[in-house]
Amino acid sequence: MKKKWLLIIFTFVVIISAVIILNSCSLLTGRAVDATTVLEVKVVDDSGALVCEAEVYVNNIFKGNTRCFGETKGIREVILSEKNNTITVKKQNYLPSKVNVISKSDAQQITVRLAPQKAIYTISVTDEFGILTGASVVLYQDGKALKGKTTDSQGNAIFEGIEAGNYVVEVSKEGYRKMSAERAIFSVNNDWSSSISLNALPQLKIKVTTNNQNVAEVEVSLYSKVEYNSPAAVPLHIKYSDANGQVFFDDVGDHTNYVLVIKKENYLAKVVETYAEEGSSDIYVKLESS
């Protein structure tokens, strides 16, 4: 009799265990179990890459983050206990995404796509005197030029639709040294701004007059002082004064000594030593008749 009861108890335990195992299998496979459903939520970005650490909500209740490793990277399983559900996925630097009214009877896997959130990035360019208009500003990322702008009347270059990441900003303008700077956009929850100052290239401005009158077509030769006294000295540049008696040499090195040789028919030649430094150097030359 005792053996019979033991057999009955053993059979009962086996049946209960089988029911538990079947229920567990159903839970893992996503089938309906006691009025609930396991839903697998896969999260990807615009390029289709899996997104880890994304927050998953069911009917505005937080259910966990997508995984970062293994075969389940970018995936989070959630249990649906309502007939209709709304799945919401959030992650910093991305726009929230919703898949509305997911029914338990629907497929047990969904893919939610996150679009990157974007910011406005304003770059202000100045020189030693203040606002600098007409400067070229180019954004680079991973060595590739993304966008280019020109500074407006306020000295600003405004870039819209900028994603979080590391950038190189290159600013240039004729008469100024090109400037490159690394900038990081850590979050696009707010707009960003930064300032860059350009230094003027050295420039020699020569003004030629005689008897208080401007002299045009004056030959002005520019020599390096180091080379000038050499028998085989060759001028770096030769230019001629304009109607206002002016000559400009923009491509000179800063903190460098130069020699200017000024010639014009019927006038005595002049030799002027000068020193180029940052910014503009004004040189006034008065010619005398020969």
Structure tokens at 36: 């609930």
pLDDT over 90 percentage in the chain: 50
Q: What is the pTM of this model?
A: 0.55
- The confidence score (pLDDT) of residue 230 equals 85
CATH T-level assignment (fold) for domain 119-197: Immunoglobulin-like (2.60.40)
Of the spans 149-158, 189-198, 278-287, which averages the highest pLDDT? 149-158
- The confidence score (pLDDT) of residue 33 equals 45
- The confidence score (pLDDT) of residue 141 equals 92
- Residues 6+ away with beta carbon under 8 Å from 159: 120, 121, 122, 123, 139, 147, 149
Burial tier of 157 (Cβ tally within 10 Å: 0-12, 13-18, 19+): buried
- The confidence score (pLDDT) of residue 13 equals 56
Range 263-287 average pLDDT: 87
- The confidence score (pLDDT) of residue 5 equals 58
Closest CA to 111 of 82, 76, 80: 76
Inform me whether the pLDDT recorded for 112 exceeds 70: yes
- The confidence score (pLDDT) of residue 189 equals 73
In a 13 Å sphere around the CA of 171, the CA atoms on its Cβ side amount to 26
Using only the alpha carbons of the chain, give its radius of gyration.
38
Range 272-286 average pLDDT: 84
Bridge partners, residue 210, by sequence: 213
* Cα–Cα distance measured from residue 132 to residue 155, given in angstroms and rounded to the nearest whole number: 5
Structure tokens at 240: 């001629």
Residues of each domain in the chain carrying CATH 2.60.40.1120: 37-115
Inform me whether the pLDDT recorded for 263 exceeds 80: yes
- Which tens digit of pLDDT belongs to each residue from 31-79? 444 557 888 999 998 888 999 999 999 999 999 999 999 988 999 999 8
- Contact call for residues 121 and 187 (beta carbons, < 8 A): no
Buried b (16+ CB within 10 A) or exposed e, 101-130: ebebeeeeeeebbbebbbbebbbbbebeee
pLDDT bin (cut points 50, 70, 90) of residue 27 is: very low
- Contact call for residues 163 and 93 (beta carbons, < 8 A): yes
Closest CA to 191 of 285, 117, 89: 117
Number of H helices and E strands in the chain, helices first, is 2, 23
- The confidence score (pLDDT) of residue 31 equals 42
CA-CA distances (angstroms) from residue 65 to 59, 81, 184?
15, 19, 26
Range 275-280 average pLDDT: 74
Inform me whether the pLDDT recorded for 261 exceeds 60: yes
Inform me whether the pLDDT recorded for 195 exceeds 90: yes
Does the domain spanning 37-115 belong to CATH 2.60.40.1120?
Answer: yes
Amino acid occupying residue 109: Q
203-286 architecture in CATH? Sandwich (2.60)
* Cα–Cα distance measured from residue 110 to residue 41, given in angstroms and rounded to the nearest whole number: 5
